[in-house]
Each structure stands twice: as C-alpha cells, then as structure tokens.
Amino acid sequence: MQTEPCCNAVDETGDEAQPIRLRGHHFLCLLTYKGLGYTPAFVENMTAIAARINGCAKVILHPGPDDICAALSPADRAACNHDCAKPETAALDEMAEKATVAVLGHGLGEAFVLDAEKVARLRAAFLKGESRAACGICRWRAVCDEIAGNGFAGTLLKGAHAA
C-alpha cells in the first residue's frame, strides 16, 4: 500500500509555501544533480531547491525562466552562457516538458509533490533515453551520463518522503 507523500510544506510565515517553478530541462537536471554547477551561487540555489523538494515542497512544470533561473545574477548567466530567455533554451524546455508530462502525467502549471516514486519513474525514463532529447546539446551530458550509469549515486534529489 502506497502512502501519500507529505504535502504540508509551509513557508517561514506558516502559510502554504508557493510551489517551486521548474522549467522542463531543470526537471532533468535535478535527476543527476550532485552539487556541481556553473557558479557557487548557482550551486547554492540548486541545492536549496533539491532540499525543498525533498522536504515536500510542491513543484510546477513552468514554461520559461523558473526559480533556478531567478537566482542567477548577470555574472552567473555570463559564466554559464545559458541565458534563461534564449530561444534555444525554450526549445530544450519544450522537449523536456513533453517527456516529463509523458512520464508523470502532470501538465504545465499543475502543482504536485515530486515524491520518491515520481523521481524513480523520471530516472527510469532517463536511463532508457525516453526523456533525453533535450540533453543532446547540453554541455553537462557526459557528466549526467556517468552519474546515471552509476545508478544516480550521490545525487541530492531524493523526492518527498512519505508522511
């Protein structure tokens, strides 16, 4: 019998926390995220987002710049040469969105808890190559291939735990 994941994430005021907005390709990035990134500020933000997801914060598949992009300074954007508003980034997102929706069944703008079972489904699709079309031109692809090939060992995203 599957238990419902905890869904009572609240912010520091005690109100229900706003869902984490994630663009399509960031769903894929989080699957292999081990604390590596473009800049220290990027790593700090991505690590905090993974921890919030693990702590039951809801997520939303979001078109365009998201909560990971929001924390990038102009210097961070220059360092990663990955402007969140580039048309190429939107094209990556569209491919990743389709794959994510196919695996999870949650559409754009629909808030949900990314629990451990959903993370496992996303990782299984990732390993099979079913969700990797967006990874084709990514500079991190070889790193992600190695992490996935090692069973996602050491990754920070675990998924929300059951209550």
Q: Each residue of 1-11: pLDDT tens digit?
A: 333 444 445 54
Distance between first and last Cα of the chain: 13
Tally: H helices and E strands in the chain: 7, 3
User: How many whole angstroms separate alpha carbon 44 and alpha carbon 109?
Assistant: 25
CB atoms within 10 A of CB 163: 10
pLDDT at residue 14 in the model: 47
pLDDT at residue 117 in the model: 96
Q: What does residue 20 show for φ and ψ, rounded to 5 degrees? A: -80, 125
When pLDDT is averaged across residues 54-79 and rounded to a whole number, the result is 87
pTM beyond 0.75:
yes
pLDDT at residue 2 in the model: 38
Which among 54, 28, 34 is positioned nearest to 150, based on CA atoms? 34
Which 3 state secondary structure label does DSSP give 163? Answer: coil
Give the chain's largest Cα–Cα span: 48
Q: Each residue of 68-85: pLDDT tens digit?
A: 988 888 877 777 766 677
